Amino acid sequence: MLPHWTEGSVTVDGLEFHYTRTGDGSKPSLVLLHGFSDNGLCWLPVARDLEADYDVVMPDAKGHGLSARIQPGQQLDHATDMAGLITALGLEKPVVGGHSMGGLTATEMGARYPNLISGLILEDPAWIDPSPDDVPLRQNPFFEWLTNLDKLSLAEVIAFGKTANPLWSDDEFPAWAASKQQLDKTIFEVVNIRKPWREFVSAFTVPALLVTADVTMNAIVSAATAQEAASLSPNLQIAHVPNAGHNIRRENYAAFMQAVWAFLG
C-alpha cells in the first residue's frame, strides 16, 4: 500500500470488512474486487495507475485478507457483502471491477444491485458451468497447496509464485503471497463457484466490459462463451487481450489497461 493511501473497515450485517482506498471521495469511485485467495491489495498496480482520476476502493472479501472470518454453517454472499460496503462508505454509483471470483461477484451485483453501480469491468470472471467431472476444491492441486501454507515463510511463497508465474511483474508478488497466508481455510467448505452467470448477464442494465484472454493459457471465458454473453445483453462489450491467461492484468498489463481506459473513457 502506498503511504498516502488509507485503510479501514466497515460493518456489514455485523461483520467487519477491510478495505484499502486511494482517495477521499472527491473523485468518481471505482471498486475493485479480487479473485479467490487474493486480497484487495492485489489490485495495487491498477489502483496506482487509476488513482489520479478515480477514488479506488479495494475491499477484502469475507474469509480473505483482513476481513471477517467465516463462521461454521455461514453461507457466502459476496454480492450482498460488497453492496453493503458500497452503502456503508457512501459511494455514489461506483464502477465495480472484478477478477475471477470477484468478476463473478461483480456480475451478480450487476443483476441484483443495479441501482448501486454505474458500470462493470469483468476480468476473466469465474463463469464456470457445472460439470460431471467436478472434484472437491480440496483435491485441486492449487487449493491443496493453499491448505499447507503454514509450513512456508512469506519468502518461500513469493519464490513459488515467481516460479509458477514467470510473466508477472515483481510488484505483484508481495500482496499475492501475503493474501495466500491470510486466507481463511474454512472457505473451502462453503465457497460456491457455480452460479447462474447467464441469468445475471441477461439482467444487466449498466454498461459492462468483459475482458477475455487465451484459454490455451488457462483463461476461463472462451471466445464462444464471450459471444454467448454478448448475445444475452446489449450492455456488454468485449475486449480480448492476447498473450495472457486467467490473470490477464498480470500477464499483459498494458493491453488490459488499454481496454479498461477505453471503457472508462
Averaged over successive runs of 10 residues, the pLDDT of the chain (265 residues) comes to: 94 97 96 98 98 98 97 89 98 98 98 98 95 64 82 94 95 97 90 89 98 97 98 98 98 98 96
What's the burial of 37, exposed, middle or buried (CB within 10 Å: 0-12/13-18/19+)? buried
Contacts of 151 (CB under 8 A, 6+ apart): none
Structural domain spans, the chain: 6-132+191-264
Neighbouring residues of 185: CB distance < 8 A, sequence distance ≥ 6: 146, 147
Residue 56's alpha-carbon distances to 44, 210, 227, in angstroms, are 10, 19, 30
**What is the pLDDT at residue 131?**
72
Q: For 86-112, b where at least 16 C-beta lie within 10 A, e where not — what string?
A: beebebeebbbbbbbbbbbbbbbbbbe
* Per-residue confidence (pLDDT) for residue 135, from 0 to 100: 60
- In the block, which residue shows the cell 456488454? 236
pTM: 0.96
The per-residue pLDDT for 149 is: 85
Any idea what the Cα angle at residue 238 is, between residues 43 and 162, rounded to 5°? 35
| pLDDT at residue 142, as a whole number | 79
d(CA 141, CA 145): 6
pLDDT of residue 138: 57
CATH 3.40.50.1820 correct for 6-132+191-264: yes
pLDDT of residue 63: 97
Supply the pLDDT for residue 41.
98
Rg over alpha carbons for the chain, rounded to the nearest Å, is 17
What is the largest distance, in Å, between two alpha-carbon atoms of the chain? Answer: 49
